[in-house]
Structure 1
Amino acid sequence: MQYIFALFVVSISFLSQANSQKWDGFTESYIKHLKKSLNKKAIPGAALSIVKPNSPSIALGIGVTKLKNGQPITENTRFRLASISKTFAGSLAAKLAAQGAFSLNDPVDKYLQGVHFSNFDESLKIYHLLSHSSGLVPNAYDNLIESRMKYPDIVNKLTDIEPLCTPGRCYGYQNVMFSLIGDIAEQSTGLSYNNWLKKFLFKPLKMTNASVGYHAMLVDEDYAHPHVRGRKRWYTAKLKKNYYKVEPAAGVNASASDMVQWLKAQLGNYPNVLNDKVLSLQVTNYTKTNKELKRRIWRKNLKEAHYGLGWRIYDYAGETLYYHSGWVQGYRADIVVLPRLNIGFSLMLNAETGLINELTTDFIDRVLVEYKDKDIV
């Protein structure tokens, strides 16, 4: 019996070692492809994060922070997450709801002192903000984010807009409306949104480089500068403050090492921070997003698309994945979580390029070819 048990243990050990070697080869191949693609397009810099159970996490900096006199990007170099910030807001809102700070079905007006949406009465709920189903025209007053107008003044202009449909009936992507979750968190708990992220997400997850806001991005020189494309080459641009006005929608900064921790949390590795109830709540299919089915590069594989709480939920070639992208001037970013396979992926670029769509899709497709019908060990 002892002999049989020993053979069993040895077999498991060899299987685990073989799977580990296979994964190492898989990631090495992808990283080689990634670097070649970035070099071909002369992308200044990137930050890659990949996690998988029972394997060393990957946090990799590539290229330089800026084209002239830049420094090498490391796993600790800060990037703008842009709209990937919404995943933090969604997780925090789900956490606060699970703790009883508010109900996602509460009327928005209950928590917004001095702000009243006259065309909604009590039909506009908290979950409508987070799932982009308020009924307003897409990107309502987002143009004012790029003006000198302050965030509270932009919110006040939203209150009298006539909705296109009743809340919950149609999808319209928002930044200003979405960011009201920050005001709701503060009104319901007495703690600012920024402090909630720092104390209850960043700190316990050991996201040591993560921060919120323009000034936090510039605390030292270890940040990726934005780059825009001219006629023949990339140019370093000035970091803009505008979308930092809407912190829950677009205000988070993070490094590759930070994103490793965020991916692990999304895969359930830190239940004391984000437990199963919270993780399940944030990816509830609140809003159909049929427009996503027409995405050129994903069109052949995307079967269903929904929005949860700060997360997109896709049926991609029969596999459920959670996703979000980010895009502000000079930056692009993607995050992907494959829950069944326990694999997480994040890529951030300090250049405003559609190449990121191809690089993220390539990673997903490679994973599904290798592991779709197999168990991850």
Structure 2
Amino acid sequence: MYRIQKIVWATFALLLLLTACEQPPLLFARSTPKIPVNPHLEAFVDEYVDFFESELHRTQLPGAALAIVLDSNIVFLKGFGVKSIHSRDSVDAHTVFRIGSLSKGFAGVLTGLLVQDSLLSLTDPVEPYLPYFQLRSPDQTRRVQVRHLLSHSTGLPYHTYTNLVEAGQDLPTIAGRFKEVKLVGKEGEVFSYQNAAFSLIEEIIREKTGKSYARALEDFLFNPAGMNDASASYEEMVREPNKAFPHDGQDSAWMRAEVSTKFYNAVAAGGVNASISDMSQWLLLLLGNRPDLIHPSTLDTVFAPRIKTNNERRFFSDWLGDKEAFYGLGWRILQTPTDTIIYHGGYVNNYKGEVALNRKEKIGVCVLMNGAGSLAGTLIPGFFERYETYADSIRAWKPKK
């Protein structure tokens, strides 16, 4: 059976209180035989990890990593496979991957923190911060606000100038060309996924904090959240000795590739590097376990549905069912009358990642992979489908006194 890792808040409560201002709190510790283990939770984790491993075997994916968080507990954290098909080096909890568009969630939360600290407002117009931001309509240019950048609702067409992001152009140069593009709708009314426009939040954060976007991530999120392996530059990824290499191909036919510079010029859209250990700390924060860092009301703001994305249902058709699809601030929101899943997927440079959480159930999962293949679209739905069958038993269980 897979060992359940537990947070032992009671044991360390006094220590955390005394050191909270000096260092990030200890968020989890390995369980000991003295700590009762919920057998229903253990059965769920075992069943899902069996499924996860069978999918890895089916696709012969070179390497992956998995984190599962419930309440304030990291219940599973492990690497699978190898960092490169050219070596036997195993993926571990601190192996760093590129996380692609999972980076957008960091942009949303970082912006939320600045709003929380009254440094920024979501309704601030973009143009005064970025005079080079020019849409075809001068009136719409003046009306576009910070919230429109982060919810892909500026009115620009789908993936406007993502090709220029991939070509390595800087954001001000790209934004200066938005005026050449015919708009698809009024701001706030049409969802149209972006990378270049979304990443302009970097320039606004630089303006408001006096820090580069990468430094702001480090100072406001990575360091205080205990994400000790995370970074946001090509140079740091290349220097990282414990990194997973990307692999091109489909299922069993994999070829190792190299880390590319793509999207490090648009970090907010796809330039964060992180280990699964980092992502477990990220999930703890997103589930509300770090009120010292981010207020619950700020998370509510970040995860609030802002615009329908039903024009993208083709990407989630097997999973959505009767769910309504929305976008918040850097996050996808999938809703039913009784449940809400917060989700984002990411793909860049042949790395694939997915992160999802149910705030009501206080459960979250993250998967990082060093190849894409056919696993995308099966692992997260499979997680929540299995959890649903165990949820009542997990919640009803009480340790014997």
Same fold, judged at TM 0.5 (above): yes
| Deviation larger for 319-328 or 286-295 | 286-295
Residue of structure 1 in register with 2:24 after alignment: none
- Structure 2 SS opposite 1:91: helix
Tell me the distance in 1 between the aligned counterparts of 2:70 and 2:54: 24
Which of the residues 41, 48, 51 maps onto 1:23?
41
Residue of structure 2 in register with 1:47 after alignment: 65
Q: Residues 369, 317 of structure 1: CA spacing in aligned structure 2 closer, same or farther, 3 A cutoff?
A: farther
Q: Residues 330, 196 of structure 1: CA spacing in aligned structure 2 closer, same or farther, 3 A cutoff?
A: same
Residue of structure 1 in register with 2:83 after alignment: 65
Which of the residues 163, 167, 186 maps onto 2:206?
186
- Structure 2 SS opposite 1:268: coil
| Deviation larger for 111-120 or 355-364 | 111-120
Residue of structure 2 in register with 1:244 after alignment: 264
Q: What is the Cα deviation at residue 154 of structure 1?
A: 1.7
The residue type paired with residue 111 of structure 1 is Y
Q: Residues 145, 31 of structure 1: CA spacing in aligned structure 2 closer, same or farther, 3 A cutoff?
A: same
Tell me the distance in 1 between the aligned counterparts of 2:320 and 2:334: 12
Tell me the distance in 1 between the aligned counterparts of 2:369 and 2:396: 29
Q: TM (normalized to structure 1)?
A: 0.90
Tell me the distance in 2 between the aligned counterparts of 1:216 and 1:113: 31
The answer to whether the 8 Å contact 2:132/2:176 transfers is no
Residue of structure 1 in register with 2:28 after alignment: none
Which of the residues 74, 90, 93 maps onto 1:75?
93
Tell me the distance in 2 between the aligned counterparts of 1:376 and 1:136: 49
The answer to whether the 8 Å contact 1:329/1:352 transfers is no
Kindly tell me the number of residue pairs found equivalent between the two proteins: 360
Residue of structure 2 in register with 1:347 after alignment: 367
The residue type paired with residue 352 of structure 1 is A
The answer to whether the 8 Å contact 1:147/1:242 transfers is yes
The answer to whether the 8 Å contact 2:65/2:369 transfers is yes
| Deviation larger for 310-319 or 35-44 | 310-319
Ranges in structure 2 where 5+ consecutive residues have no aligned partner: 1-34
Tell me the distance in 2 between the aligned counterparts of 1:69 and 1:255: 19
Instruction: Give the RMSD, CA atoms, in angstroms.
Output: 2.0
Q: What is the Cα deviation at residue 97 of structure 1?
A: 1.3
**Correspondence 1:1-377 to 2 at 5 A:** 17=36, 20-53=38-71, 55-117=73-135, 119=137, 120-229=140-249, 233-294=253-314, 295-300=316-321, 302-316=322-336, 318-371=338-391, 375=395
Ranges in structure 1 where 5+ consecutive residues have no aligned partner: 1-15
Residue of structure 2 in register with 1:10 after alignment: none
The answer to whether the 8 Å contact 1:112/1:187 transfers is no
Q: What is the Cα deviation at residue 17 of structure 1?
A: 4.3
Tell me the distance in 2 between the aligned counterparts of 1:37 and 1:246: 32
Tell me the distance in 2 between the aligned counterparts of 1:100 and 1:135: 27
Tell me the distance in 2 between the aligned counterparts of 1:57 and 1:144: 41
Q: Residues 373, 171 of structure 1: CA spacing in aligned structure 2 closer, same or farther, 3 A cutoff?
A: farther
The residue type paired with residue 266 of structure 2 is V
Tell me the distance in 2 between the aligned counterparts of 1:252 and 1:376: 38
Q: Residues 223, 136 of structure 1: CA spacing in aligned structure 2 closer, same or farther, 3 A cutoff?
A: same
- For residues 218-276 of structure 1, what are the alpha-carbon distances to aligned partners after superposition, in whole Å with 9 as ceiling and x for unaligned? 22321111111169611001221112211101010111110110000001111121111
Q: What is the Cα deviation at residue 148 of structure 1?
A: 4.4
